[in-house]
């Protein structure tokens, strides 16, 4: 069983979402000791943006590519292949300006690939990644629950749920720490609750 662990916070050791994603991965490892974990720190090393240069390099015969083009295509392929190989994907994701970090968006731009993770058919769009379990370890400075005044600005979790549904993933769980910038006490309470919840995710794996 393969687990892909991503973090996308730019705050390193001060990150809330990194602590939640780490707790989820630790719980899954404890429950499944043979788990093969691949880690990618998008905050430290962002996925390259899609670009015309990359598309042009893809269009060339491999032998005709320069060494730089060969490396760029291989790096992009590695991102997609890591995702395709994963049974479980754990994503540490802060809210930045009501959405996801651009570092995570550029990763998504490499895995949304027609013919690999979705396809168009006469019946419409068909997701091809339905065999995966996705866990979102999320943190937000404010509150965005359905009854909050800012609910309409919640484009972080809703975007990711929509994206993963598009590529066929039905099994999306979200563990969130909200209101972490409201006060130190609120931050600690939200973090503790989210880490405890993430620590229970391994048991769900056994039940599945
Ligand atoms: C660049 C940036 C943008 C942010 N934008 C928002 C926002 O739109 N709404 C919000 O509630 N919090 C916002 N925050 C606060 C973060 O969501 C919050 O600090 C969260 O814990 C960050 O995750 P991390 O601790 O894993 O880095 C922002 C923080 C940063 C650094």
- The pLDDT tens digits for 12-67 are 999 999 999 999 999 999 998 899 999 999 999 999 999 999 999 999 999 999 99
Q: Whose Cα sits closest to atom 7 in ligand 1?
A: 97
Task: Report pLDDT for 202.
Answer: 81
Q: Is the CB of 101 under 6 A from ligand 1?
A: no
Query: Mutate which of 181, 193, 195 to test ligand 1's pocket (most atoms within 8 Å of Cβ)?
Result: 181
Nearest CA to ligand 1 atom 22: 94
- Is the minimum distance from the CB of 16 to ligand 1 under 6 angstroms? yes
Q: Give the C-alpha separation, 95 to 102, whole Å.
A: 10
The verdict on the CB of residue 176 being under 6 Å from ligand 1 is no
Looking at residues 115-129, what average pLDDT do you find?
A: 95
Q: Supply the DSSP string of 105-170, one letter for each residue.
A: HHHHHHH--BTTTEEEETTEEEES-TT-EEEEEEE-SS---TTSTTGGG--SHHHHHHHHHHTT--
- For residue 17 and ligand 1, the question of a CB distance below 6 A is answered with yes
- How long, in residues, is the chain? 208
Q: What is the mean pLDDT of the chain?
A: 95
Q: How far is the CA of 76 from the centre of ligand 1 (A)?
A: 27
Helix (H, G, I), strand (E, B) or coil at 14: helix
**The pLDDT of residue 206:** 52
Q: Where are the domains of the chain?
A: 2-207
What is the number of other CB atoms lying within 10 angstroms of the CB of residue 198?
Answer: 25
Q: Is the pLDDT of residue 117 over 60?
A: yes
Does ligand 1 come within 6 angstroms of the Cβ of 98? yes
pLDDT score, position 95: 98
Ligand 1 pocket test: which of 17, 21, 92, 95 has the largest number of ligand atoms within 8 Å of its C-beta?
95
The pLDDT value given to residue 208: 47
For ligand 1, whether the C-beta of 188 sits within 6 Å is no
Question: Does position 113 have pLDDT exceeding 60, yes or no?
Answer: yes
Atom number in ligand 1 closest to CA 140? 17
55: left (phi over 0), alpha (psi -120 to 50) or beta: alpha
pLDDT given for residue 33 in this prediction: 86
The reply to whether ligand 1 has any atom less than 6 angstroms from the CB of 166 is no
- 2-207 placed in CATH 3.90.550.10: no
Rounded Cα gap, residues 38 and 79, in angstroms: 11
Q: Could you read off the pLDDT of 165-175 as tens digits, one per residue?
A: 999 999 899 99
**In sequence order, what are the residues at sequence separation of 6 or more whose Cβ sits closer than 8 angstroms to the Cβ of residue 193?**
177
């Amino acid at each position: 069983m393969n687990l892909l662990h991503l973090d996308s916070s730019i705050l390193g050791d001060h990150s809330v979402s990194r602590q939640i994603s780490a707790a989820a991965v630790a719980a899954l490892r404890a429950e499944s000791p043979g788990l093969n974990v691949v880690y990618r720190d998008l905050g430290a090393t962002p996925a390259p943006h899609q670009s015309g240069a990359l598309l042009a390099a893809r269009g060339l015969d491999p032998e005709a590519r320069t060494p730089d083009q060969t490396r760029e295509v291989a790096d992009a392929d590695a991102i997609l292949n890591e995702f395709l190989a994963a049974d479980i994907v754990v994503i540490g994701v802060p809210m930045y300006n009501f959405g996801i970090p651009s570092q995570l968006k550029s990763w998504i731009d490499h895995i949304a690939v027609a013919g690999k993770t979705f396809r168009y058919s006469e019946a419409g769009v068909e997701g091809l990644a339905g065999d995966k379990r996705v866990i979102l370890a999320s943190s937000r400075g404010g509150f965005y629950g359905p009854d909050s005044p800012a609910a309409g600005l919640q484009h972080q979790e809703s975007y990711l749920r929509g994206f993963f549904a598009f590529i066929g993933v039905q099994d999306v769980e979200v563990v969130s720490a909200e209101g972490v910038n409201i006060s130190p006490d609120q931050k600690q309470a939200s973090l503790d609750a989210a880490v405890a919840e993430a620590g229970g995710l391994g048991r769900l794996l056994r039940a599945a």
